[in-house]
Amino acid sequence: MNSWYLISVFTHIIFAAFWIGGMLFLPLVILPGIKQHPDRIAILYNTGIKFRLYGWVALLALLTTGLLNIHLRGLPLTWDFFTESSYGCLVSYKVLIFFGILLISGIHDLFFGNKALEEMQAGDNSKFKLFARWSGRINLLLALAMAFIGLILSRGGVL
């Protein structure tokens, strides 16, 4: 097996772990840890902004290494491959889920997250906070689905 392929797969796994780990860290560690803190909104804002940058870097790295993995594995980038083989269909699902994550992340980061923080600062915990929370949860579920599909692909692509 090509050394570059192994390095690319390793890098892909590291960034996937970072992405999923970050999404778990925020609701499971940060939010409960700052629940009673008087500056919780500022902490949440600063943490969110910092993770946003690294999150988008991770997504870019996942896209790059994912495409590189396909290329280095010698898989054809043809319609027939993506639609007719079971392996190709799984890769297609993974790509579609990834673009769903990009879309939801963009909406969350550029709209819902900012609006939710503005509401929290104003003392109003209404709709945008709910949207921000649910978009994050949906992204986590999609990321876990992608990781599961990646596991299946690594085992030969057979369910």
Enumerate residues 6+ apart whose C-beta is below 8 A from 92: 82, 83
Which residue, among 33, 32, 36, 48, has the nearest Cα to 114 in the 3D structure? 48
Residue 100's pLDDT is: 96
Separation between Cα atoms, residue 147 and residue 141, nearest integer Å: 10
Residue 1's pLDDT is: 67
Residue 38's pLDDT is: 87
Separation between Cα atoms, residue 104 and residue 61, nearest integer Å: 18
Separation between Cα atoms, residue 153 and residue 159, nearest integer Å: 9
Residue 99's pLDDT is: 96
pLDDT along the chain (159 residues), means of 10: 91 96 90 87 83 93 95 90 90 95 90 72 70 86 96 82
- Angle, helices 127-154 vs 3-25, to 10°: value is 150
145 with 129: CB under 8 angstroms?
A: no
Separation between Cα atoms, residue 38 and residue 17, nearest integer Å: 31
pTM: 0.86
Residue ranges of domains in the chain: 3-154
